[in-house]
Amino acid sequence: MLPFLIRRARRRPKNMPLWCGLAVLLLLACTDAHAIPAYARQTGSACADCHAGAYGAGAGGTLTPYGMRFKMNGYTDTDGNGIKIPLSGQLIETHSAPARGQSSTELTEADLYLAGRITDQVGGYVKVTADHTAQSGTYNTQLSNVDLRFVAKDLKLNGKDLLVGVSVNNNPGFDDPVDVLPASVSLGPPGGSGPSGTLLNPSSANAPANRVIGATVYGLYDSNWYGEVGTYNSLPTSEQDHLGYALSGDPGRLSDTAYFRFAYMKDLKTQFFSIGLAGLNTKRQLPRTGPSDSITDLGYDLSYQYLGNRNNIVQVSYINILEQRKYGSMPASPTVPGLFALPDGTLHDQTLSLTYTFMQSYGVQWAHLVSTGTHDAVRFGPFGDPDTTANLISVFWSPFGKDDSFTSIANLKLAATWFRFTKFNGATDNIFDVPLGVSTTKPADLNAFSVSASVAF
């Protein structure tokens, strides 16, 4: 959803309301929830057992070590007390106040989740979302994240515990158990104009998120060592259209795609830390009849959680993804005779996130998002730099979702989020390079503030 809409904005850089919409969409992306009451009903657990802030993903939703194990176990854990209907829903009402443009209050998202265990070895997560489209005022239904799993538990290797699983999913990194990769936390730096951002970042232009299908094989050895390899193929454009995605966001034809994720994680009960690597290598034809670009993402990540007795939880994560591109063509500049695009380049996405949660109910998240890249006057406009710097600050309250909450069949989160830009298109002023005499745009003009109420049931 997000990359497509961001790209739509990029196609019309002089349309300021659309650029303001970009920030609002980023805010909405941050409310994307992965946890659903169906899992709580299935396991007897509270939402707070898996999520520090007792409500799904987004601010306060980062997985606890227990939540990571639930995910790696293929969403199959249960209280053993009968079959539960693996169905949930979510409604999000949002008041958005962009720095420029009109404020609005509307039902921004309605979601249906099919999620839970089928057998002790098979479980999954499927989200269908209806997003409010500001331009038309209607709702667009899309197949969002999908993660279907088969797991073999209680295996032994050299006397140590071994878990082996298969994930069929449509978003590289969404199935990340450590919950650090951008696809997993639904948070990554937005790039500037042009084909900016890394493939592992769903906020990038023409990102593969939700427009591919792939399978990975993963294993967890001795509870600490995680490894995963897999491959993806992009969906045909006709299929993307059927699933609710505009063709302008097509990730292109992908071939020879390889994905990997390795991590060492240590659960010390009151603390947790992890260190990991992730990579994606592919050949991309975008447009599909065009030449093939060779793209390699390689990232590393660190995370730390202080959990204590769960009354004061601190979660810190940092991810750094480097993308190397060897382009299949070097198009000429449409405006500068004799100027051609570079044959290769690098892009760099970094996200630092810090979240504090009190009593598993009240919290604040701060995230610093940076996207940079090789200067290329033809590919990235208007200055040839895709560099963007942004911050997210969110405060939230989740009154339910704990062991002592009066219900486990519903949950609520109220959040106030401020998304601010300090650099866009590599510039800190006049970011669209409009001529003198025309009203200029500063990065701060893309800022947006929102207040949202999310209800899950």
In degrees rounded to 5, what are phi and psi of residue 232?
A: -135, 155
Residue 100 to residue 272: CA distance in whole angstroms: 41
**Position among 404, 435, 437, 439 found at the interface with another protein (CB under 8 A):** 404
403 belongs to the binding site for another protein (CB under 8 A): yes
The token duo for 243 is 């699933």
Nearer to another protein, 44 or 290 (CB): 44
- Whichever of 239 and 403 has its CB closer to another protein, that residue is 403
Stretch of residues binding another protein (CB under 8 A), selected from 8-16, 72-80, 421-429, 432-440: 72-80
The residue among 74, 221, 227 whose CA lies nearest residue 162 is 221
Alpha-carbon distance 238 to 190, whole Å?
27
User: Which residues have C-beta within 8 Å of that of residue 257, sequence separation ≥ 6?
Assistant: 214, 231, 232, 233, 280, 281, 282, 283
Residue closer to another protein by CB (options 270, 335) is: 270
CA angle, 57 then 282 then 328, to 5°: 130
User: Kind and range of the H or E element at 273?
Assistant: strand 271-285
By the rule CB under 8 A, 138 interacts with another protein = no
Position 411 contacts another protein (CB under 8 A): no
Residues 162, 73 contacting (CB under 8 angstroms): no
Query: Residue 260 or residue 306: which is nearer to another protein going by CB?
Result: 306
Q: Nearer Cβ to another protein, position 77 or 376?
A: 77
* 162 binding another protein? (CB under 8 A): no
Residue tagged 């260190």 (tokens): 275
Cβ-contact 427, 65 below 8 angstroms: no
Of the candidates 236, 241, 266, 308, which one interacts with another protein according to CB under 8 A?
Answer: 308
20, 23, 26, 43: residue in contact with another protein (rule CB under 8 A): 43
Cβ-contact 68, 178 below 8 angstroms:
yes
Please report whether residue 270 would count as binding another protein according to CB under 8 A: yes
Q: Give the binding range for another protein (CB under 8 A) out of 14-22, 247-255, 284-292, 304-312.
A: 304-312
**By CB under 8 A, residue 309 contacts another protein:** yes
Beta strands at 271-285 and 253-267: parallel, antiparallel or unpaired: antiparallel
Q: Output 17 or 44, the one with its CB closest to another protein.
A: 44
Rg (CA), the chain: 21
Q: Contact between 307 and another protein (CB under 8 A)? A: yes
44 touches another protein (CB under 8 A): yes
User: Nearer Cβ to another protein, position 409 or 438?
Assistant: 409
Binding interface with another protein (CB under 8 A)? 43-45, 49, 64, 66, 77-81, 269-270, 307-311, 403-404
